[in-house]
Structure 1
């Protein structure tokens, strides 16, 4: 775990999450979608996918989510069957084990909770439901995020500032960047969300390498470890 010293700041009004890395174990279905079904191919592809998506800016023809998934597979030396399998396997996405409990704890403390994801509208909201179901399994009744927005809906991929700020109107007129804590899943999110004016913690579940000199408030290997100061 790594923390950085920060001056006292007021409690955030909203906690916004990266989806496919901070909340969900997308690494497992990337592995399962490769010809060997192993992390040897899956990790290489997944890391290339992060480079490709965070290296893009505008969402549109030629740079849709599905196209970037296919491009990163080809650049990793994988056949077209790999991205095709990933899309078939999409509903197999599962949350990290602690996610449901932590989301319910945060809701109980009064935070607004949201998701910003570099994904298409259809796949992104399907993945959001995977995280919501994890929270439902920890209690009774339906559980939903206060807001969720995809790259397709904002027209921007993270780390563009517009991608992060696209969720703010959905959370209410009084929520400003300085009112937000962002839970990053990748190193690119640590940098991007900081530039967007958010406070940032990092759920570095799989031990990704840091990028640049920007540090999160706290880095942990689980969601509750990353959010220890807010639970």
Structure 2
């Protein structure tokens, strides 16, 4: 095995941060002048479209969401909403405590590291400034590629950019979006991060994977041992 490909949210990020997502929507809604419940519903309902780039970048996405709620924000209000929304997205993507340490350790063991994330524009626009960017050799974002997990093209793209065949790749994620089944079908060896210490995060998972891997760790810190590095 030569490479490890990670999911992002709930795997490399703090699982508890997922509970902050709806609160960040409320802050953005307040700046836009949109009722919080209507904006939240628009964001949730548009998730599939947002994660494949249907609305463009963050500015254009927020404008589309505001208009869908019957509000036409001026440029100053829209710019302020973008700033607020990006700040909220930064909160949601904060690293889990052991993430950077584990990534550095695995790189030290010679693995190439990749990423496949179902994400909207905020992560792509901010990626270069995150602590993950210098540690991930091949990030693959649904928003840029135009399709979501478990689309086989995402897995193939990650392998191509890493220069490693799927059979020599681990895929590590917390489940959802049928990501493990997609990895298995692509020829990778999936690992489930159960997030056993984060029951609230598990309760937020509305799209559990139909396939549960045999290889499992309760937290990211257990991954090196699972892979044979003690």
TM-score bin (small chain) = 0.5 to 0.7
Change (3 A) 1:129 1:222: farther
Give structure 2 stretches of 5+ with no counterpart. Answer: 28-39, 69-80, 196-200
CA contact (8 A) 2:4 2:111 kept: yes
Provide the residue aligned with 1:89 in structure 2: 88
Within 5 Å, which residues of 2 pair with 1:23-42?
23-25=12-14, 26-33=17-24, 35=26
Provide the residue aligned with 1:197 in structure 2: 187
Within 5 Å, which residues of 2 pair with 1:94-133?
94-120=94-120, 123-124=123-124, 126-127=126-127, 129-132=129-132
Provide the residue aligned with 1:14 in structure 2: 3
Counterpart selection for 1:148 from 139, 142, 151 = 139
The 3-state SS of whatever aligns with 1:33 is helix
CA contact (8 A) 2:86 2:122 kept: no
Q: How far does residue 144 in structure 1 lie from its aligned partner after superposition?
A: 2.9
Counterpart-to-counterpart distance in 2, 1:150 and 1:187: 16
In the alignment, structure 1 residue 61 sits paired with structure 2 residue 54: yes
Counterpart-to-counterpart distance in 2, 1:170 and 1:195: 19
Provide the residue aligned with 1:185 in structure 2: 174
The 3-state SS of whatever aligns with 1:16 is strand
Give structure 1 stretches of 5+ with no counterpart. Answer: 1-11, 37-44, 75-82, 134-142
Counterpart-to-counterpart distance in 2, 1:21 and 1:128: 20
Change (3 A) 1:179 1:146: same
TM-score (norm 2): 0.65
Counterpart-to-counterpart distance in 2, 1:120 and 1:161: 19
Counterpart-to-counterpart distance in 2, 1:17 and 1:107: 13
Counterpart-to-counterpart distance in 2, 1:153 and 1:34: 22
Counterpart selection for 1:216 from 206, 210, 213 = 213
Q: How far does residue 90 in structure 1 lie from its aligned partner after superposition?
A: 2.0
1 or 2, which has the higher helix percentage? 2
CA contact (8 A) 1:112 1:171 kept: yes
Counterpart-to-counterpart distance in 2, 1:185 and 1:129: 24
Q: How far does residue 197 in structure 1 lie from its aligned partner after superposition?
A: 1.8
Which one has the largest radius of gyration? 2
CA contact (8 A) 2:5 2:170 kept: yes
Q: What is the RMSD of the two structures over their aligned residues, measured on CA atoms?
A: 3.7
Counterpart-to-counterpart distance in 1, 2:190 and 2:57: 25
CA contact (8 A) 1:94 1:130 kept: no
The 3-state SS of whatever aligns with 1:102 is helix
